């Protein structure tokens, strides 16, 4: 499948950056503080794309309706902020992918449900913020993904019709958001993938097995 697009928008966690080790570390710190043994990283990784909500559900069985959930969420955020970049890195092959997009003059941006409190310093430290044509965080619009509002805001900032953009993400919500925004929706199989349906059941326009597949689909490889 060959794509003809004017811009590429990416999810952040699980698509561009591997932040699961630090998210899982914050969750296990909370367990340790409560006298509970740490959970294996493999158990927590799949939940990383859902941020605090996913980590608290996996580590403490605490959902938004749970008594004291707001306090647990705030504690998680504070702990995560302290270790934001302790182990977080770009995924392998993401740096060459972004370099190639830059070389070919194809703008790219970031659309994440991560609050700007975390997304901005993380993106800055990993060298993404100065290069991205837009950064839309979880508190940049009135709605978060799977609502299309964040993607539409990114297209607005780029000055492009949404239909000329594609969105790359590693969660079923990303595919729903991309379709709702009338963008191409591409699934990143190297990411966290959540705990819902298998990736090939997401209805993505294309499943990318590794970052280089995006370049090949754009005829840039």
Q: Which residues are catalytic?
A: 11, 13
Answer yes or no: are the C-beta atoms of 51 and 114 closer than 8 Å.
Answer: yes
E strands present in 113-202: 135-136, 165-169, 184-188
Tell me the C-alpha distance between 148 and 178, whole Å: 7
The tally of CA atoms less than 13 A away on the side-chain side of residue 13 is 33
* DSSP designation for 147: S
Place of tokens 């239909």: 163
Tell me the C-alpha distance between 114 and 61, whole Å: 21
């Amino acid at each position: 499948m060959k794509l003809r697009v004017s811009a590429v928008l990416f999810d952040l966690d699980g698509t561009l950056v591997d932040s699961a080790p630090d998210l899982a570390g914050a969750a296990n710190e909370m367990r340790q503080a409560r006298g509970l043994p740490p959970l294996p990283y493999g158990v927590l990784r799949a939940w990383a794309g859902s941020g605090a909500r996913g980590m608290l559900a996996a580590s403490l069985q605490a959902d938004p309706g749970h008594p004291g959930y707001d306090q647990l969420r705030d504690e998680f955020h504070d702990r995560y902020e302290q270790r934001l970049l302790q182990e977080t890195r770009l995924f392998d092959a993401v740096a060459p992918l972004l370099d190639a997009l830059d070389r070919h003059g194809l703008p790219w941006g970031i659309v994440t449900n991560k609050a700007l409190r975390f997304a901005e310093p993380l993106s800055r430290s990993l060298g993404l913020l100065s290069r991205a044509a837009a950064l839309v965080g979880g508190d940049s619009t009135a709605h978060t993904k799977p609502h299309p509002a964040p993607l539409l805001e990114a297209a607005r900032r780029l000055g492009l019709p949404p239909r000329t953009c594609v969105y790359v993400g590693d969660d079923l919500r990303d595919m729903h958001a991309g379709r709702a925004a009338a963008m191409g929706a591409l699934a990143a199989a190297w990411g966290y993938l959540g705990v819902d349906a298998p990736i090939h059941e997401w209805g993505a326009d294309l499943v990318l097995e590794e970052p280089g597949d995006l370049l090949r689909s754009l005829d840039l490889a």
